[in-house]
Structure formats: C-alpha cells, structure tokens
Amino acid sequence: MEYIEKSAAQIAHDVRTRVRSAAEVTDATLAHVESVEGAVGAYLTVLADSARAHAARVDERVRNGEKLALAGVPVAVKDNMCLDGSRTTCGSKILERWIAPYTATAVARMLEAGAVPIGKANCDEFAMGSSCENSALGVTRNPYDLTRVPGGSSGGSAAAVAAYEAALGMGSDTGGSIREPGAFCNLVGFKPTYGRISRYGLIAFASSLDQIGPLARTVEDAALAYDAMAGFDPMDATTVDRPVEAAAGALREDLRGLRVGMVREFDSAALGAALDALYRAAYRDLERLGAELVEVSLPTAAYGVATYYLIAPAECSSNLARFDGVRYGLRVEGDDVRSMYDRTRAAGFGPEVKRRILIGTHALSSGYYDAYYVRAQKARTLIAGDFERAFAQCDLIACPAASCPAFEFGAKSDPYSMYLMDYYTIPMALAGLPALSVPCGWTTPEGGRVPMPVGLQLCAPLFAEKLLLGAARAYEAATGHALARRPELESVRA
C-alpha cells in the first residue's frame, strides 16, 4: 500500500508528529495525480504550485507547535467553491476563465485546519446532474471501472478521493450530489444539516438546498473534515448559530439502544434482486450491531423528485441570472445589451442548465407561481413533516443511497431517468436533514466487467450529525465493505 492511500486521519497524525512532512505528502500526491489523471480526469485544474506553497506553510505551522487536525491532508475542492486566485469554473463554459477573487468559508476553514488543496475537481455544470456528464469542461471516470460514471454532481471530488488523488474531497449536495457519487465511488459521502456549513463562496445552484460536505474513504475522515468546516459564519445568514459537537472523537462501537427506521415506501425489492439482497444484508448488520429495526412511513417522499424539480430550478433561474457577460465570465458581444445577454448565455450554458433555467423561470412566472412554486413549497413542508413524525419513532433512518450502482457513460440520456437517480436522496435534502452514504457491498451490474460499490444511506434528525457519524462508523468497522476491492489504477498509470 502506497503512502497516499492512507486515511486523512493517519496522514494528519504523521504530519503533526513530523513523521512525514506536508511537502512530502503533497509531492507524492501530485506525482500520483500526474500518473493517473489522464485516465480518471478528476480535476479541472491541478494547483501544483499553490499546493506546494500551502504544504510549506503547513510544515512551518507544525514546526511552530500548531496542532492541526488536517495537517498536510491533500484535499480535492469541487470547482463550484471559490479559492482566491484559482480558476473556479462550475464545470461551465460561462466561467471557464474566471479566477475567484476570494475564498469560500468552508475552503478557508479546511486550509486553516492544515489541509492542502491539490486541485479543483470536476462537477456537473453548476452542480446540475448525477453523473458528472453535464460538465462542459471535462470527462471524469469512475476509478473502479473507467467505462462508468463517478456519479454527480460532485463526481470529480469523489473520483479524486477514490483514486487516491486526494485524501479528502469537498463536495456540495443539493439533491444527492455528495451521497450518490459517494456510493458510486466506494466512499463515505456526507451531507450535514442545512445551515451547518457556510455556503459563502459556494457558487449557488439552489440556495435553500445547497450544502457543502465531505467525501472520504472512512467515516472518521469525513468526521474530521466536518469538524473543520462546520459552524456559524457571519458571512452566511442561513448558517445556524449553535454549537457543533465534535464528531471525530465520538465514534460509536455499536448501535445498541438505537432504533433504526426502515422506510415502508423505500422497499429495496424495487431495485432488483441483487441490490435487494445487499440492502437486506445491510439492515441485518445494523440489527446485529444492536439496533432495533422499526418500520416508519414517509408517505409524501414519493413527491420528492417532483417537488425538487420545481424548487431547485426556480432558485437556479434567479441564481444564474448574474452570468450575463457584464462583468465576469464569458461575454459574447451583441448589437445591444439585450443581444449580448442572449448570446452570452446561449453560448455559455449547457443544455441541462438551460433546461432548468427554463423550468424555473416558468414556475415563478406570473399566473404559474401559485400552481408550481407555492405548491412545491407546501409539498416540501409536508415532506419535512413526514420525517419529523418518523423520527418520533426512530433515531436514524436507513435506506438505499441510489437506485443503481455507477452506470456507463450515456446510459441515462433522457433527463428524467437521470432525475430519478436522486429519488432516495432528495427527500432528505428538501427536509434539510443530515444524511450520508456509506459503502455496504458490491455488485456486478448487468453487462458489467467488475463489481461496483453500493451505498447505504443513513439519515438523522436535524443537527444530529454526531449520532449519524457515530453510527456509520460502527457499521463501517463491523462490515469493512470499502476495503474489499481496490480501484483499477495499475493498468492506467502513465
């Protein structure tokens, strides 16, 4: 096992105790990135010089006695988060050459904790998609089968971590964009409670849903990253001003005393025999760890996708208005300002982004607002109410993280089948709940060459991140599914 395959916790420990320097870890990571990037394509920009400069600073801080939780940990930053002086594209032509003039709070907190930014990771354009195929700037492949997608929209961050091109990934989850690529790439993908981590500097897709979170190879690593990023930010009025309980040091050994809810409406039998067997085994493992399984009902969760595809596009239609060619990003000149807008946006946005802007503009327009936007908000309230009632009967909810394992490129070419990928992750996003995916086994998809990872989703009540991570840690330790296979990188090394 190469050093770069170590966990973030191990790397940080080694750098803190000066067993390794951050500079060595960074150099090793950059060398590995160079050898596998051609095949994986996780990054849109590799920040080699800046990473070395950050690493030097970390080593200096360590020498000065600072106890950095993420000392020297290589991190992949999703390219919808601003990092001062770095190109920040959102996977879009419209921002292809935009250099961020400031740093996102979550990124700044990771750097403050000692993390070293290796690069800006690919994503679906403006985080709209579930496979990374909507990126206008590059193709990212799943390290476990390069003919398959890494998931999305945080697919670049997921692929980077899975391929050891970083020990931690920063992703953003609007309807499942951390959890689904986490499941596709054999990772822990964790979306905290809405308002836990500042969105300042995260280029907005749907403001009321977007939430930053980590992608990691272990639950402990995810918890370390969460601890570094979480907490009130005076620059984001939607962050919650309440204490964050450190999750990294409080991981559970078992699930004794916990009631885990099985969602009646999310019967895994619908996913086919192979996945059904995997999920049933996972639920049995939870039980074996001491959890009491109880049945709960989320009767309105089935409306999640429909609700989400009104609210998220409505917000995106407004959030993306600023990309008009006036002050930054792409500009295509026109005869007057109106034609400049039209030409810039026509050339700068890809088809999925345009589709959502159209849907959202329509949903907000006069005469349709009540029928679409207001109704969707009411449905959202009902869905959140369902979860509240469910959590009166259980401490955690367990369900699938995605309806299938990573699929081949082009397999979901019609938008609606792609939207359904987030069927199990959207309801939690609408309710603002903390949820994660954790590896729960392997299955060879129909027509596939090798087994692909599958993710179990765990969801907790608002602000119960510590409980959620603790339980996931217990499950991970008892099952060890993630360790069963390695990504297929040997054959692709340049």
Partner 1 sequence: MNARYEAVIGVECHVELKTKTKMFCGCVNAFGGEPNTKICPVCLGMPGALPVPNAQAIELIIAAGLAFGAEIPAFSKFDRKNYFYPDMPKDYQISQYDMPLAIGGTVKYWLEDGTMRECRLTRIHLEEDTGKSTHAGSGDGRIAGSSYSLVDFNRAGVPLMECVSEPELRSGAEAVAYLESLRRTLLALGVSDVKMEEGSLRCDANVSIRPAGSAELGTKTEIKNMNSFRSVERAIESERARQIEILSNGGRIVQETRGWDEVNGVTHSMRSKEEAHDYRYFPEPDLVPLEPSRAAVERLRAALPVLPAQRFERYTSQLGIGSKQATQLVETPSLGAYFDRVVACSNNAQQASNFVLGDLSRLANETGVAVAESAVSAEHLAELIGLVDAKRINSKIAKELLARMWDGAGSPAAIVEREGLAQTTDPGAIAAFVEEVLSAHPSVVAEFKAGKSNVMGFLVGQVMKASRGKADPALVNELVRTKLSS
Q: At what angle do helices 351-364 and 304-319 cross, to 10 degrees?
A: 100
| Cα 260 → chain centroid | 24
Residues 153, 172, 317, 437: which is the catalytic one? 153
Q: What one-letter code names the amino acid at 452?
A: M
Residue 2 or 336 having the CB closest to partner 1: 336
- Pick the piece of the chain touching partner 1 (CB under 8 A) from 230-238, 246-254, 390-398, 481-489: 230-238
Report which secondary-structure segment, H or E, holds 124.
none
Residues 78, 191, 412, 466: which is the catalytic one? 78
The answer to whether residue 346 forms part of the interface with partner 1 (CB under 8 A) is no
Q: What x/- string results for residues 288 through 327 when contact with partner 1 is judged by CB under 8 A?
A: --------------------------xx-xx--xxxx-xx
Strands 188-191 and 435-443: antiparallel
Determine contact, residues 105/329, Cβ cutoff 8 Å: no
Residue 177 annotated in active site = yes
The answer to whether residue 90 forms part of the interface with partner 1 (CB under 8 A) is yes
Q: How far is the CB of 135 from partner 1 (least distance, A)?
A: 16
DSSP string, 221-284: HHHHHHHHHBS--TT-TTS--SPPPP-TT---S--TT-EEEEEGGG-GGGG-HHHHHHHHHHHH
The answer to whether residue 484 forms part of the interface with partner 1 (CB under 8 A) is no
d(CA 236, CA 243): 16
Residues within window 96-115 making contact with partner 1, judged by CB under 8 A: 98, 100-102, 104
d(CA 398, CA 394): 10
Residue 35 or 207 having the CB closest to partner 1: 207
Q: In angstroms, what CA-CA distances link 337 with 298, 317, 340, 345, 347? A: 49, 19, 5, 12, 15
- Pick the piece of the chain touching partner 1 (CB under 8 A) from 66-74, 81-89, 137-145, 249-257: 81-89
Determine contact, residues 435/460, Cβ cutoff 8 Å: yes
The answer to whether residue 200 forms part of the interface with partner 1 (CB under 8 A) is yes
Q: In angstroms, what CA-CA distances link 492 with 32, 64, 144, 228, 455? A: 11, 40, 12, 34, 26
Tell which one of 137, 206, 431, 458 touches partner 1 (CB under 8 A).
206
Tell which one of 10, 88, 130, 153 touches partner 1 (CB under 8 A).
88
The answer to whether residue 237 forms part of the interface with partner 1 (CB under 8 A) is yes
Residue 107 or 474 having the CB closest to partner 1: 107
Binding site for partner 1 (CB under 8 A): 80-82, 88, 90, 95, 98, 100-102, 104, 199-204, 206-208, 234-238, 314-315, 317-318, 321-324, 326-328, 337-338, 341, 361, 364-366, 369, 373
Residues with a catalytic annotation lie at 78, 153, 177
